[in-house]
Amino acid sequence: MNEVVFSARRKNIDSRGLGNMRINMEQLKISPLFLGERDIIKTLQFLPGVSAGMEGSSQLNIRGGTNDQTLYLLDDVPVYNQSHTFGLFSIFNTDAIKSVDLYKGGIPTQYGDKLSGVVSVALKDGDFKQYHNSLSLGLLAGTFASEGPIIRDHLSYVFTGRRSFVDLLYKGFTTISGGQSGAMIAFYDINAKMTWKMNSANLLSWQLYSGYDDIYGMNTGRDRIRNERYFEKFGYGWKTFMTALRYSGNLTSSLQFIANLYHTSLTNFNRVTGKFIAPDIEYKKENVESSLMNEMGGKIAFEQKTGTNNSFFYGMEGANQIFVPDCVYKRENSSEILYNSGQLRLFKLSAYLYDEYRYKHWFASLGLRASLYDNWKKKKISVEPRVKINTFLGEKNKLMLAYDRMHQPIHTVYEMNYNFQADYWVPFQEEILPSANQASVGWKNFTNSNLSFSIEAYYKTMKNLLLIKNQENYIDFHTDYETGKGKSMGFECLLEYSRERFTGWISYTLSKSDRRFEDRTYPFKYDATHSFSTFVSYKLIHNEKTTHTFSLNSQANTGYPYYVPEISYPGLGLPTLSNAYPGNSNIYSVDYIPQYPNVRIRNFFRLDANYTLERPCKKGTLSWQFSLLNFTNRKNPYAIYKKDDKYKAFVLIPLFPSVAVKRFF
Amino acid sequence: MEQSSINEAERLVINSFLTPSKPIRVDLYKLQKDQNNYSCVGVVGAHIILKENETTLYDDIYSDSIFTLNYFPVAGAAYSIEVSYEDLASAKATTNIPKAIRCTGEFTYGKYWDIRSFLIKLNDFIVPPDNRASLWITAYQETDDGETVQYNEIYINNVFIDKTNSYGGMGTVNDIAGSIYYESFLRIKNTNIHKMDELIFTPVKVCYFEEEFLLNQEKIKVKLITAGPEYDQYSKNLYEQKNRIIHEEDISSVFYQPCPVYCNIENGLGLFAGMNEVDYYFDYPVKTE
């Protein structure tokens, strides 16, 4: 009997519905490279309606929202940081991922607590039958991944570990050379998952994510004659942690459920450590200032099929969050001090339901989510209706409509920060619970099996947004902030084409986003009228022995609004004499920076070129990836500042070559 | 920048620190635009209305850009100012003079020449009630003839000090003050003042230029500045603005963010802020051998 082969077009981005896109691992293999790595967040940044913010970031600013308005889920568990090394990499290791869903609109009611969008990353279960391993080495980091059965057909594991190695080389070099000063970055992350297939219908899994980042300066020295050594390290960092237990199963043939219990946390720290060793003296110091966030929670979700055309979804989730904004640990030799300024807390409890109904060529999803948010001073109840309606016009055109209401009980506290800063979360204060309403429409065309084309338009309003003028007073006294509104509207196009060796997509967004505070309307900090990105990939050689793929990716957008010191005026100086500040003589001049963006920075453009060679080995495969980042060497500003009465721009990513090698076995 | 929309209105700049230890002084400027350039010039002939607790202290046109009044502000009183000049919008501001935070002080040292053994201990803080002020502390070298040089590194091992200006020293200055120093001042925010029972610190003067050496030091002066909310925010912001300057496009740029300086002048720029100062003097160690 001849084997029957069904072939279907492999799409890079699966546009599943209005505002919802899915990328799975097969699709991720044909996606833009960044420093020789494929990164899920970097790939999502190519999609319409999604802004990366400043270059090199791992942010997703969705449809006029900020990154803290995007819900990041790892196997349905929220994570409150998604960046490694200023955002050059995301925390999501592609070796551990099964698929990623992005929701910009039409957000199902099981998702909440954020205003603008959802990124739901599903970790893969380990293979229950075979072992797979891989080892990769990039420009900054190395990754090891392994999966396979622990008990064949019953219990499997996935483990991935990633670590920067430049810092290790540097540390070794300083040890050998006897003393150096310099700045360095270090990070690691591990993903682990064990899955127990209890029977054909029930799975129990445990997952863990632990990530660490450290951006530091270091001074070391050695005096061989006096036999003295010193070491000092100072810098910033953060730790991201998540662990969860998840059960999914069928209670009856028509009723499925998923339950999980989890713990997730984020710690930011600013640390100085030092050691001095001499023949008669050993001195150690440590000074750590940190902010902590801990969340313990649980969820239970049901899906009940009540007919061939109807499914009913309902569930509950609850979590307790504890925030410690200011924690200090000091150690001078054996003397230790630990202090924190107190806790902020938030308890949240949500229940939701929605019904998906199909009738002929119509599809409707009506849902409601209700939440209680308690910050232990005030309680707020939110009710969020969500509606999605789709219909086919003929067989090749689909029309879609959605309405979403969202509320957000926690937020980060940086307003003017564009660049790297670890997220610092606090719960809502007083009666102010930010909310958003979004209406969106879309059209999708299926005329050609190799080509898909979709257009979406949205209109979103946000209220009770915060403009924090003084972070310390906001935390200590609940003063020095303004509440305001936001508005965002846009038009998004996505065109995908793939045929044989060629794959490509083009995305374009026309949008306008603004904020209104104190009776003044101004553009949102990542407002870009035009945003355009393309990706093309072509397999130059593709046979049993080798595959050579060349790809180009580019991004362009209107320059973002920015705050620059536009004028200077006489000041009153600092509580000191001017001779105390040899480096800052001009303390009697104040650079005036308005509360609102006053310029737009240069339009952004970057073109990256990548070449991948892949060949099968005796066991597994070997691939080499060569990249040229910012191929045109365009000077895209990362920060703009004023120095010596001149405006200057700092460029993070110049023309930058990189290479990565990966071995599957 | 390819697109710019800088178009600031011309307006008045008012600058004044009000403290019971000095007569009132207000510096007045006008921000003016000449084509695409902005500059500040002193304002002569402005109409100034200055009030203390709704009682008018001055209401007239003043013929100098530096307004002075031989009157010492009173701790606990509220002050308001309104300045009008030509067709510019009237600039207004209000502030309160905080009552002074006081303490007792003690100075100890080991060998007279060993400046690393110097310890200044401040304790028994008396904090006036209903006070939203923060505490700033500076220290100075002084001679009998009034020459003053500020200590620019203050070593202290205390969790209540604001970390804004903290740095890791290259080693411990002594076992008590530790190895973390604060550049030129200590700031204790309002909510931490009440938790603090004592401060023990070692002031160090690092000389960058030879002329900064102060011969014949006779005293150590410690100044406690009770900073009203306006003074506190302004000084903290200004320090941050001056210290977040990018060092010639190196990797520190990734931490840069625009840093506005607090301003409480309605329709204008500058600061009108109340503060209170108390000085404590300690005799410098005399040569004993």
CB contact under 8 A, B172 and A283: yes
C-alpha A464 chain-centroid distance:
24
User: Given pLDDT bands bounded at 50, 70 and 90, which one contains residue A5?
Assistant: very low
Q: Check pLDDT > 70 for residue A195.
A: yes
Q: Exposed/middle/buried for B114, CB within 10 Å: 0-12, 13-18, 19+?
A: exposed
- Concatenating the DSSP letter of every residue in A205-268 gives EEEEEEEEEEEEEEEEEEETTTTEEEEEEEEEEEEEEEEEEEEEEEEETTEEEEEEEEEEEEEE
* Average pLDDT over chain B, rounded to an integer: 88
* Contact (Cβ atoms closer than 8 angstroms) between residue A507 and residue A494: yes
Collect all residues with Cβ–Cβ distance below 8 Å to A36 and sequence separation of at least 6.
Answer: A138, A139, A625, A626, A627, A658, A659, A660
Could you tell me if B6 lies within 8 Å of chain A, comparing CB atoms?
yes
Token output for B127: 């904090």
| Lowest model confidence (mean pLDDT) among A223-237, A525-539, A557-571, B185-199 | A223-237
ipTM over cut 0.85 = yes
Stated as kind and residue range, the H or E segment containing B233 is helix B229-243
How many angstroms separate the CA atoms of B218 and B143, rounded?
5
How many angstroms separate the CA atoms of A497 and A452, rounded?
7
What 3-state class would DSSP assign to B30? strand
- At A75 the pLDDT is 93
Could you tell me if A287 lies within 8 Å of chain B, comparing CB atoms?
yes
- The sign of the torsion formed by the CA atoms of A332, A334, A335, A338 equals positive
More confident residue, A174 or B45: B45
- At A359 the pLDDT is 87
The backbone torsions φ and ψ at residue A95, rounded to the nearest 5 degrees and listed phi first, read: -70, -15
The domain defined by A14-563+598-664 folds into: Maltoporin; Chain A (2.40.170)
The backbone torsions φ and ψ at residue A420, rounded to the nearest 5 degrees and listed phi first, read: -60, 130
Q: By percentage, how much of chain A surpasses pLDDT 70?
A: 91
Could you tell me if B225 lies within 8 Å of chain A, comparing CB atoms?
yes
**∠ at Cα A260 (A254, A266), nearest 5°?**
150
Q: Residue B229: its chain A contacts at CB < 8 A?
A: 473
- At A3 the pLDDT is 35
CB-CB: which of B2, B225, B269 is closest to A592? B269
pLDDT tens for each residue of A608-644: 888 989 999 888 899 998 888 888 999 888 888 777 7
Q: Which residue of A has its CA nearest to B40?
A: A569
- At A10 the pLDDT is 47
pLDDT tens for each residue of A177-191: 665 666 778 899 999
Helices (H), A74-157: none
Helices (H), B78-227: 190-193
Provide the chain B residues 226-285 that lie in CB contact (below 8 A) with chain A.
Answer: 227, 229, 233-235, 238-239, 241-243, 245-246, 249-262, 269-271, 273
Collect all residues with Cβ–Cβ distance below 8 Å to A230 and sequence separation of at least 6.
Answer: A219, A220, A221, A222, A274, A275, A276, A277, B170, B171
- At B55 the pLDDT is 94
* Contact (Cβ atoms closer than 8 angstroms) between residue B139 and residue B154: yes
CB-CB: which of A569, A581, A643 is closest to B269? A569
CB-CB: which of B13, B151, B157 is closest to A570? B13
CB-CB: which of B31, B175, B178 is closest to A567? B31
Q: Give bridge partners of residue A559 from the DSSP assignment.
A: none
Could you tell me if A25 lies within 8 Å of chain B, comparing CB atoms?
no
| Lowest model confidence (mean pLDDT) among A305-314, A643-652, B132-141, B254-263 | A643-652
Place of tokens 């429409």: A441
Q: Residue B152: its chain A contacts at CB < 8 A?
A: 580-581
**∠ at Cα B281 (B278, B287), nearest 5°?**
165
CB contact under 8 A, A599 and B1: yes
CB-CB: which of B40, B208, B273 is closest to A582? B208
- Of A411, A295, A313, A407, residue with least CA distance to A354: A313
- At A515 the pLDDT is 94
* Contact (Cβ atoms closer than 8 angstroms) between residue A621 and residue A612: no
In angstroms, the Cα distances linking A419 to A83, A422, A474, A649 are 12, 10, 22, 13
User: Given pLDDT bands bounded at 50, 70 and 90, which one contains residue A167?
Assistant: confident
* Contact (Cβ atoms closer than 8 angstroms) between residue A594 and residue A567: no
* Contact (Cβ atoms closer than 8 angstroms) between residue A511 and residue A529: yes
More confident residue, A241 or A224: A241
Provide the chain A residues 4-23 that lie in CB contact (below 8 A) with chain B.
Answer: none
More confident residue, A302 or B257: A302
B184 min Cα distance to partner chain A (Å): 6
Q: Exposed/middle/buried for A252, CB within 10 Å: 0-12, 13-18, 19+?
A: exposed
A582: number of Cβ within 10 Å: 13
pLDDT tens for each residue of A33-92: 677 677 889 889 989 999 988 887 888 999 999 999 999 999 999 999 988 887 788 889
Could you tell me if A587 lies within 8 Å of chain B, comparing CB atoms?
yes
Q: What is the pTM of this model?
A: 0.91
In angstroms, the Cα distances linking A189 to A186, A193, B18 are 11, 14, 54
B56 min Cα distance to partner chain A (Å): 25
User: Given pLDDT bands bounded at 50, 70 and 90, which one contains residue A585?
Assistant: low
How many angstroms separate the CA atoms of B137 and B149, rounded?
15
Read off the pLDDT of each residue in A117-135 and give the average, rounded to a whole number. Answer: 93
- Of A11, A9, A7, A8, residue with least CA distance to A496: A11
How many angstroms separate the CA atoms of A316 and A387, rounded?
19
User: Given pLDDT bands bounded at 50, 70 and 90, which one contains residue B3?
Assistant: very low
More confident residue, A20 or B51: B51
Q: Residue B17: its chain A contacts at CB < 8 A?
A: 572
What 3-state class would DSSP assign to A94? helix
Place of tokens 């072992």: A131
* Contact (Cβ atoms closer than 8 angstroms) between residue B23 and residue B72: yes
CB contact under 8 A, B255 and A419: yes
CB-CB: which of B251, B256, B270 is closest to A569? B270
Longest dimension (CA), chain B: 70
More confident residue, B275 or B180: B275
- Of B44, B104, B96, B103, residue with least CA distance to B73: B96
| Lowest model confidence (mean pLDDT) among A43-57, A90-104, A214-228, B144-158 | A214-228
User: Given pLDDT bands bounded at 50, 70 and 90, which one contains residue A581?
Assistant: low
The backbone torsions φ and ψ at residue A603, rounded to the nearest 5 degrees and listed phi first, read: -55, 145
How many angstroms separate the CA atoms of A570 and A568, rounded?
7
Give all strands (DSSP E) within A198-227, no chain letters.
203-223
Collect all residues with Cβ–Cβ distance below 8 Å to A643 and sequence separation of at least 6.
Answer: B245, B246
pLDDT tens for each residue of B177-188: 888 899 889 999
Q: By percentage, how much of chain B surpasses pLDDT 70?
A: 91
Token output for A336: 């230790």
B62 min Cα distance to partner chain A (Å): 20
Q: Check pLDDT > 70 for residue A419.
A: no
A630: left (phi over 0), alpha (psi -120 to 50) or beta: left
Q: Rounded to the nearest 10 degrees, how much is the dihedral formed by the CA atoms of A136, A139, A141, A145?
A: -10
* Average pLDDT over chain A, rounded to an integer: 86
Read off the pLDDT of each residue in B210-215 and give the average, rounded to a whole number. Answer: 66
How many angstroms separate the CA atoms of A145 and A664, rounded?
9
Could you tell me if A289 lies within 8 Å of chain B, comparing CB atoms?
yes
User: Pairing between strand B11-18 and A599-600?
Assistant: unpaired
How many angstroms separate the CA atoms of A523 and A560, rounded?
9
- At B227 the pLDDT is 95
Longest dimension (CA), chain A: 93
User: Given pLDDT bands bounded at 50, 70 and 90, which one contains residue A148?
Assistant: very high
